[in-house]
Amino acid sequence: MWATLGRGIVNEVYWPSTGRDLGFIVAGRSKWHEVKRVARYQLSLPEPFIPLPRVVHQGEGYRLELELSPDQSRDTIVIAFRLTGEDVALYVLLAPHLDGSG
């Protein structure tokens, strides 16, 4: 399995086939934000040679921390998250690229 990050989200997964865009929506009482579109994030690695990215999104009234790591027993990525803010909820936004057509 191989995956890439772009705009602070998982934007390609190369197993079993290519093409998934996995993002997040943070919803509050009166509005919601697609974190990819807000585009205020910081990416860090524990060490330059250890590919376990941590992404922190800062938005209006929320902070979303994501830590990505491969699952050693399955072909999958584990995404741990911490969402802070007042009356906010996290929703997953999956945009599959069906049949290679985008």
Alpha helix positions (H), 13-80: 35-38
pLDDT in tens, 35-67: 999 989 999 998 888 878 999 999 999 999 999
Q: Which of 30, 34, 32 is nearest to 22 (CA)?
A: 34
Query: Taking residues 88-96, what's their average pLDDT?
Result: 90
Where in the chain are the domains? Answer: 3-100
pTM for the model stands at 0.84
pLDDT at residue 18 greater than cutoff 80: no
Which phi and psi (to 5°) does residue 27 adopt? Answer: -115, 135
Helix %, strand %, coil % of the chain (to 5): 5, 55, 35
